[in-house]
Amino acid sequence: MSATTHPRIAVISLGGTIASTSAADEAGVAPSLDAGDLLTGVAGVGELADVTAVALQRVASSDLTISDALNLAREIEAQLVDGAVGVVVTQGTDTMEEMAFALDLLVAGDAPVVVTGAMRNATEAGADGPANLLDAVRVAISPAARGLGTLVVMNGEIHAARFVRKSHATSTAAFHSPSVGPLGWISEGRVRLALSVTPWPRVLGTMTASADIALIAASLGDDLRLVGQVVSLEYRGVVVDALGGGLVPSASVEALEALSATVPVVLASRAGAGDALRQTYRFAGSEIDVLSRGPISAGALDARKARVLLSLLVGSGASVEDCRRAFAVVNEAMFRE
């Protein structure tokens, strides 16, 4: 009888709650486990896949950077070239939506890249890390998950990186895709994918470096004077998390216009779902006013995802007009006409 061969995948660990444990005599937990340790705690993985464990980083996700995403994308591509059919990344949940979106933009090809983590650490009752990791492995080896870009698997649900957000500080059901819902779920170990997303068009080009991009939130009564500090603080662009469908206080429009003559300024909606507006309101600070002065619309990308895209574009040498085109292309690719 010949031995059964399993698909090969890689599990790459970066840290976060899923990797966190406590040290004797010290309060709190910190990342201390790596991919090999995490896999040891998950019964059944070896019956599904031949897993290569890669310990890449061991940090809280608040210490991850877009530059780390570029390194991670290179490691993922190396694993895929080496024969992995898919890759699982374990990391902290706090910046998971941004890292997953960066990988979605950076990793070429059809192989599933699945990001997961945990909301409860290993010392807590009901720790969710092992179940999330097992689900992520199932998705990484699933032929149905091919061509869907980077996915986030948490709490038994499968989310597209381009739509998912962390929306609860502690719940194990913290991840949602408010605009569209999850693409599918895992039930009795079966990967159930009901929806799909389209691959990013090649015209986005190869993004090889990141740039520092500021994210400034608009809020009640703030004139956004921070916008005037962006260049002196050596940011190479800014994303404004604007009010409602993409509006800002009228007192900020001249500063935004002046800044957008120098660096890309992107206007996103802070509402949490749906598109930033383009042609509804016409008054000082409205989206028609601001967009006519040079800023770029983030469209359906939320501010955090817009910042990731802008960082990779500017870091890779894109001009303001290149960035404008790229945001338009990404938004067209997110929807069927």
Q: Does 155 bind ligand DAS (CB under 6 A)?
A: no
Three-state SS string over the chain comes to CCCCCCCEEEEEEEECHHHEEECCCCCCEEECCCHHHHHHCCCCHHHHCEEEEEEEEEECHHHCCHHHHHHHHHHHHHHHHCCCCEEEEECCCCCHHHHHHHHHHHCCCCCCEEEECCCCCCCCCCCCHHHHHHHHHHHHCCHHHCCCCEEEEECCEEEECCCCEECCCCCCCCEECCCCCCCEEEECCEEEECCCCCCCCHHHCCCCCCCCCEEEECCCCCCCHHHHHCCCCCCCCEEEEEECCCECCHHHHHHHHHHHCCCCEEEEECCCCCCCCCCCCCCCCCHHHHHCCCCEECCCCCHHHHHHHHHHHHHCCCCHHHHHHHHHHHHHHCCCC
Q: How far is the CB of 116 from ligand DAS (least distance, A)?
A: 10
Looking at 86, 112, 117, 246, which residue binds ligand DAS (CB under 6 A)?
A: 117
Q: State the catalytic residue, choosing from 4, 5, 17, 93.
A: 17
Looking at 9, 11, 17, 290, which residue binds ligand DAS (CB under 6 A)?
A: 17
Is residue 17 annotated as a catalytic residue, yes or no? yes
Q: Which is nearer to ligand DAS, 154 or 247 (CB)?
A: 154
Determine the Cα angle at 223 with ends 239 and 288, to 5°: 60
Q: How far is the CB of 150 from ligand DAS (least distance, A)?
A: 17
Looking at 37, 50, 94, 322, which residue binds ligand DAS (CB under 6 A)?
A: 94
The interface mask with ligand DAS, positions 239-268, x = CB under 6 A, is: ------------------------------
Residues 6 or more apart whose CB falls under 8 angstroms from that of 154 comprise: 93, 116, 117, 119, 128, 132, 172, 174, 175
Q: Does 130 bind ligand DAS (CB under 6 A)?
A: no
Q: Does 132 bind ligand DAS (CB under 6 A)?
A: no
Looking at 13, 57, 61, 116, which residue binds ligand DAS (CB under 6 A)?
A: 61
Q: Which is nearer to ligand DAS, 35 or 193 (CB)?
A: 35
Judged by CB under 6 A, the stretch of 91-99, 134-142, 221-229, 261-269 that binds ligand DAS is 91-99
Q: How far is the CB of 92 from ligand DAS (least distance, A)?
A: 2
CB-facing half-sphere around the CA of 316: CA atoms within 13 A: 20
Q: Does 16 bind ligand DAS (CB under 6 A)?
A: yes
Residues 183-242 contacting ligand DAS, CB under 6 A: none
Q: Taking CB positions, which residue lies at the least distance from ligand DAS? A: 92
Q: Does 150 bind ligand DAS (CB under 6 A)?
A: no
Q: How far is the CB of 148 from ligand DAS (least distance, A)?
A: 23
Q: How far is the CB of 17 from ligand DAS (least distance, A)?
A: 3
Judged by CB under 6 A, the stretch of 87-95, 148-156, 197-205, 244-252 that binds ligand DAS is 87-95
Q: How far is the CB of 96 from ligand DAS (least distance, A)?
A: 7
Residues with active-site annotation: 17
Binding site for ligand DAS (CB under 6 A): 16-17, 60-61, 92-94, 117, 119
